[in-house]
Structure 1
Amino acid sequence: MIKLQQPRYLLIAASLFAGACQSPGNHSNPAATADSLHHLASRYYAENMALNPLQATQNGENQYNDQLPIDISESFRAKADSFYARYQQAIKGIDTSALSGNDRITYDMLRREFDINREGLTFHDHLMPVQQFTCLPLTLTQLAGGTSAQPFKTEKDYRNFMHRMERFAIWTDTAIANMRRGMASGYVLPKSLVVKVIPQVTDLAKKDPANNVYYAPLKMIPDSLGNEVKAQLTKDYTAAIEKYILPSFAKLQAFLQNEYLPQARSSSGISGIPDGKTYYTYLVKTWTTTDLTPGAIFDLGEKEVARIRGEMETVKNSTGFQGDLPAFFAAVRTDKKLRIFKTPAAILDSFKAIENKIMPGVKKMYGHLPKTPFEIRQTEAYRAASASAEYMQGSADGTRPGVFYVPILDATQFSYTGMECLFLHEAIPGHHFQISLQQENDSLPRFRRFSWIGAYGEGYALYCESLGKELGLYTDPYMYFGRLTDEIHRAIRLVVDVGMHTKGWTREQAIKYMMDNEPLSEQEATAEIERYMAIPAQALSYKIGELKIRELRNKYTTALGSKFSLSSFHDELLKDGCVPLSVLEQKMARWAAAQK
């Protein structure tokens, strides 16, 4: 999955100036209309970054690197609601009939963002601000490591993060107060998630310079600052960690263990909170960018699972395996010949070899390649146990590379079967191409350069897995079985996510369904299912988006015949960045008409 370096919560902001969002008025002049839209989009991005400084840091807007808003507070949420309301009013003044195709994309995306983010504020996810997969404590911790978006090159850089650590103490107190309100009103996490959070915060509360990631920047203070500055920085930075970070995590650990866990809920799905079913419907709309109902998605998932199981039977038979598919799953899970690695370095080298193998073919499939550097790294130890393989975007100016992170808990247990499709999805030509090309495209408004729409982004990355045979991969039947395993994994998500969140499925029921239909261990299935519990509906976006992109490729391959160019199709698919699926259909139709 893509790990955009941002919290899950809404990107919300408050206006900087009185009257900043007055309607620009209707314009019959197309140039004036476009100028008004561009001005609105630019203003929106600037204000959004000012009030969302963590997101600004991820985007390379370093003027806010010392700030950390208490975004889960009622006052912040009220400002956000006012902010979106003003922009909802402002965009009504744009005459859409005078817009070009690309400007209409901007208009549609802005309007959707204002509407859906404001609607999101009517729900109460701020009463459950902490979970094991993605939340502000984990985001801040990743920034703290010194190898992420937060810079640690100057004395000011260090003092910026010290101020963020100070603000985190306030955020933690607010989070605990919010969770107490949630306990009183039924907005609480499932017990099975709380028990995963407690060890995370326990480790981060330890005064352990060798292993606690918050101390890591102390090992990289530049010598160019001089001994006196380095000594003072070391003293002040250590004091900030021990005054704000360690006590905050200790306080959070004690609260979660002693107060929150006993009152956490036994239900697995979001329907277990007061407005959970309505909230889930909203999340489905948000993540899939469609009007599909949960029921329709569940049915689609079951059909896809059945189809892919049929392909798996064919591959199983090609290996000469004697036995049924569940037995083959068990064999793939346990067969030592599929565990060929001894060290993490050997795994990373193998991923690098995949990159080298596919690049000649990739250069034929894509006319435009990103300039952003790319690296493969092992996931940091502090989060590896609960992390999936993921892509962390680079900076738009190329100074920070895009990184494909691989969690490796035990290299000797790492199966090679899924490596090729994983690389295609997370790295090249998947997330690294899509996100880098989007960020590098300075003809897009900045809010589009740095936006993320899961159905498009994850759908495209899953589509990239299907390119393996065209790129010379999947020649080993076990590697192709790994590809089918990844595909059925995304189809299974449609079933288990909707099952848990609307049909009353238990965590255990979802784990069993997953293990019955793909070859993964109970530990792996548990981590996946608990991820879907933590971020409802996010997992739906992959398969929904992939099916749409594959549908469009098939449609235009047939319709255009000899005029169809795969590299042109891919370039058009990526050039406008993340867009809702309905917008994608419209823009690809315009492209196809131009090819004729």
Structure 2
Amino acid sequence: MSLTKNRLLLLAFTLSFAACTNMAKQSGNGTDSLHHIVQHYYDEKMLLFPLDATMNGEHQYDGLLQIDISEHFRQRLDSFYTRYLQSLQGIDTASLAPNDLISYLMLLREVSIGKEGLRFPDNLMPFQQFWGMTLTLPQLGSGTGAQPFKNKEDYEKFIHRMKTFAEWTDTAIVNMRKGMATGYVLPKTLVVKMIPQMADLSKKDTGNVFYAPLKTLPAALDSNARLQLKNEYTATIEQYVLPSYAKLKQFLQSEYLAKARTSSGLDSLPNGKEWYAYLIRSWTTTTLTPDEIFATGEKEVARIRGEMETVKTSTGFKGDLPAFFNFLRTDKQFKIFSTPGQVLDSFRAIKDKIMPRVEQMYGHLPRTGFEVRQTEAFRAASASAEYMQGSADGTRPGVFYVPILNPKEFGYTGMECLFLHEAIPGHHFQISIQQENDSLPKFRRFNWIGAYGEGYALYCESLGKELGLYTNPYMYFGRLGDEIHRAIRLVVDVGLHSKGWTREQAIKYMLDNEPLSEQEATAEIERYMAIPAQALSYKIGEMKIRELRNKYAQQLGNKFNIKDFHDELLGDGCVPLSVLEEKMARRFK
């Protein structure tokens, strides 16, 4: 799609939206006006964020890659949010049905917090070792992700994206130089991890993930057309993509690293404390202060450590808790794998074991397919296990990705709770059910709110015993290890970004309180350094969901039905925690 057509589309959206806004102000029917507004919002947002459109299965913009870190784009985004804030002022909320009121509240929150976030210059630190365009593009270009590679047009669309990435790269370097001049730079320890990523993605060899789609060129093309497409695709990789990653590597290594900061937290940046407070509101959907979160974390760590002591004692182990952690990390009885395939098969066996009981606890099961895969080599070293959503139309399954650097060192004690969180009934159920629910407006079907989504997935870890898992003390201790891990996050994330903690101080706190290797703890702490406040959402959300379940189980007694609770919990997709509390109260009053 040409840039001219892109601008014409945006103009058409704007003019259509203006009419929609006038209707909202003039019409007494708030419901009809809101439906128009939320649909226009989603459509315009997909043009602004075409990679999100691809992830959502909306393929009309698969050839676009917005330079979303440019000042021009941020100005457009500010205007976009302002227009929708103004339009919502014309809605009569008193006339809205409960589900429409949820849509109104969610859209109001999304555009308000989106506009507020533009006050902070995150575009001056446009990528890091964990997230960013530099890692998203190869995932899309791998041929196994959300970007389709079914016909010649699909390949041509990604060719266009690869060419635009060169412009994105130049913008990123300009922005990072501005950051160097104004004090907005990444921690040095993160930059060290980014350099080898850029080096690997700049290599001109068939092992580079960008070449993978060339192995599956469309069979419908004749030999000449296939050769022409192969040559054009290869030339784009080698003229635009590989030089861009090489340029980023060189810039990071020879220029940026020397200017990167030695501090670990956001509070060391200009306006950093205010920025972190904003990110807490954004990620947790609460008004909790850093000190309140820190205190909650310390309390939860102490509680879970007490339960860990009880489990340790039950195994007959004679040493203290740190010694037990070391025992779990290093003893050969917990290292039972020799190949990546064995690790993946063990995760698949967990699914087979739990599904009969899952069906007793959930009335509504997703239709979307599900797979377990090993994380790609180009990002495995810095990746955590994760879930990648499937497509709403069912053509692409949801995927549970597992990074396996060395299967002989892959401990099994945490596998059950990890599967419950990332896969079933965690992210796969929640995201798939949300996407499949076509009674929701699209902006809600494809929305993500960390406190709800991650909170629910962490809640799912607590269902293990009900699902027939955690049958030996070591597996249950693995579950406690994951639970304390999320409680520790409340302490170390706030410590890093609000209390002046160093990276090393945070790593030590983590190692003192859970059975992780130093390598694992370091990767986790550096993740929190890279994406402040994101890690807070898990425990904050989980505590709210567990509180609601306990409340209604106690209130309803024998009338409490766990299927009804879970179906209501998941039925409206991701919602802010305050909205969740209100809607559950309406259902179970």
TM > 0.5: yes
Q: Among 308, 320, 326, which residue is 1:330 paired with?
A: 326
What aligned pairs does 1:554-593 form with structure 2 within 5 A after superposition? 554-593=550-589
2:180 is the counterpart of 1:183: yes
Q: Alpha-carbon deviation of 1:17?
A: 2.5
Q: Which amino acid aligns with 2:139?
A: Q
What aligned pairs does 1:17-96 form with structure 2 within 5 A after superposition? 17-18=14-15, 20-21=17-18, 22-26=21-25, 32-96=29-93
Aligned partner of residue 223 in structure 1, secondary structure? coil
Q: Alpha-carbon deviation of 1:196?
A: 0.4
Per-residue CA deviation, residues 428-471 of structure 1 (Å, 9 max, x unaligned), is: 00000000000000000000000000000000000000000001
Q: Alpha-carbon deviation of 1:16?
A: 3.0
Aligned partner of residue 44 in structure 2, secondary structure? helix
Native 8 Å contact 2:13 2:40 kept in 1: no
Native 8 Å contact 1:24 1:94 kept in 2: no
Aligned partner of residue 461 in structure 1, secondary structure? helix
Aligned partner of residue 377 in structure 1, secondary structure? strand
Equivalent in the alignment of 1:4: none
2:229 is the counterpart of 1:195: no
2:437 is the counterpart of 1:441: yes
Q: Which amino acid aligns with 2:577?
A: L
Whole-angstrom distance in 1 between the partners of 2:11 and 2:556: 47
Note closer, same or farther for the CA distance 1:304–1:227 as it changes in structure 2 (3 Å cut): same
Whole-angstrom distance in 2 between the partners of 1:101 and 1:279: 33
Whole-angstrom distance in 2 between the partners of 1:226 and 1:147: 24
Per-residue CA deviation, residues 213-246 of structure 1 (Å, 9 max, x unaligned), is: 0111101112222211110011000000011001
Equivalent in the alignment of 1:501: 497
2:121 is the counterpart of 1:124: yes
Per-residue CA deviation, residues 155-193 of structure 1 (Å, 9 max, x unaligned), is: 010010000010000000000000000000000000000
Aligned partner of residue 225 in structure 2, secondary structure? helix
2:424 is the counterpart of 1:425: no
2:217 is the counterpart of 1:207: no
Equivalent in the alignment of 2:5: none
Whole-angstrom distance in 2 between the partners of 1:143 and 1:125: 23
Equivalent in the alignment of 1:546: 542
Q: Among 86, 108, 123, which residue is 1:111 paired with?
A: 108
Q: Which amino acid aligns with 2:249?
A: Q
Per-residue CA deviation, residues 75-112 of structure 1 (Å, 9 max, x unaligned), is: 11001101110100000000000111111100000000
Native 8 Å contact 1:425 1:465 kept in 2: yes
Whole-angstrom distance in 2 between the partners of 1:367 and 1:191: 49
Whole-angstrom distance in 2 between the partners of 1:427 and 1:254: 38
2:136 is the counterpart of 1:134: no
Equivalent in the alignment of 1:7: none
Native 8 Å contact 2:368 2:394 kept in 1: yes
Note closer, same or farther for the CA distance 1:281–1:484 as it changes in structure 2 (3 Å cut): same
What aligned pairs does 1:504-523 form with structure 2 within 5 A after superposition? 504-523=500-519
Q: Which amino acid aligns with 1:242?
A: E
Equivalent in the alignment of 2:522: 526
Aligned partner of residue 134 in structure 1, secondary structure? coil
Whole-angstrom distance in 2 between the partners of 1:165 and 1:352: 35
Aligned partner of residue 132 in structure 1, secondary structure? coil
Whole-angstrom distance in 1 between the partners of 2:191 and 2:23: 48
Aligned partner of residue 475 in structure 1, secondary structure? coil
Native 8 Å contact 2:17 2:37 kept in 1: no
Q: Alpha-carbon deviation of 1:199?
A: 0.3
> For this pair of structures, how many residues does the alignment match?
578
Single out whichever of 277-286 and 214-223 deviates more from structure 2. 214-223
Per-residue CA deviation, residues 350-379 of structure 1 (Å, 9 max, x unaligned), is: 111110110000000000000000000011
Single out whichever of 200-209 and 522-531 deviates more from structure 2. 200-209
Where structure 1 has 5 or more consecutive residues not aligned to the other structure, the ranges are 1-12
Q: Alpha-carbon deviation of 1:272?
A: 1.6
Whole-angstrom distance in 2 between the partners of 1:135 and 1:306: 35
Native 8 Å contact 2:388 2:401 kept in 1: yes
Q: 4+ residue runs of structure 1 moved beyond 4 angstroms?
A: 26-29
Q: Among 161, 164, 188, which residue is 2:161 paired with?
A: 164
Per-residue CA deviation, residues 291-345 of structure 1 (Å, 9 max, x unaligned), is: 0001100000000000000000010001000011011011111011000111111
2:407 is the counterpart of 1:393: no
Whole-angstrom distance in 2 between the partners of 1:202 and 1:14: 40
Equivalent in the alignment of 2:285: 289
What aligned pairs does 1:147-546 form with structure 2 within 5 A after superposition? 147-209=144-206, 211-546=207-542
Per-residue CA deviation, residues 238-262 of structure 1 (Å, 9 max, x unaligned), is: 0000110011011111110011000
Whole-angstrom distance in 1 between the partners of 2:494 and 2:12: 37
Whole-angstrom distance in 1 between the partners of 2:24 and 2:47: 26
Native 8 Å contact 2:34 2:91 kept in 1: yes
Where structure 2 has 5 or more consecutive residues not aligned to the other structure, the ranges are 1-9
Whole-angstrom distance in 2 between the partners of 1:404 and 1:253: 30
Equivalent in the alignment of 2:3: none
Aligned partner of residue 225 in structure 1, secondary structure? coil
Whole-angstrom distance in 2 between the partners of 1:449 and 1:144: 25
Aligned partner of residue 387 in structure 2, secondary structure? strand
Q: Alpha-carbon deviation of 1:14?
A: 8.6
Whole-angstrom distance in 2 between the partners of 1:127 and 1:38: 36
Whole-angstrom distance in 1 between the partners of 2:499 and 2:326: 29
Whole-angstrom distance in 2 between the partners of 1:465 and 1:112: 29
Note closer, same or farther for the CA distance 1:208–1:14 as it changes in structure 2 (3 Å cut): farther
Single out whichever of 434-443 and 49-58 deviates more from structure 2. 49-58
Whole-angstrom distance in 2 between the partners of 1:225 and 1:542: 48
Aligned partner of residue 18 in structure 1, secondary structure? helix
Q: Alpha-carbon deviation of 1:28?
A: 7.9
Q: Alpha-carbon deviation of 1:476?
A: 1.1
Aligned partner of residue 24 in structure 2, secondary structure? coil
Q: Alpha-carbon deviation of 1:23?
A: 4.0
Identity %: 70
Q: Alpha-carbon deviation of 1:51?
A: 1.6
Aligned partner of residue 317 in structure 2, secondary structure? coil
Native 8 Å contact 1:54 1:68 kept in 2: yes
Aligned partner of residue 375 in structure 1, secondary structure? strand
Aligned partner of residue 579 in structure 1, secondary structure? coil
TM-score, structure 2 as length reference:
0.97
Aligned partner of residue 563 in structure 2, secondary structure? helix
**Please, what is the CA RMSD of the aligned residues?**
1.1
Whole-angstrom distance in 2 between the partners of 1:19 and 1:38: 14
Native 8 Å contact 2:24 2:34 kept in 1: no
Whole-angstrom distance in 1 between the partners of 2:219 and 2:573: 40
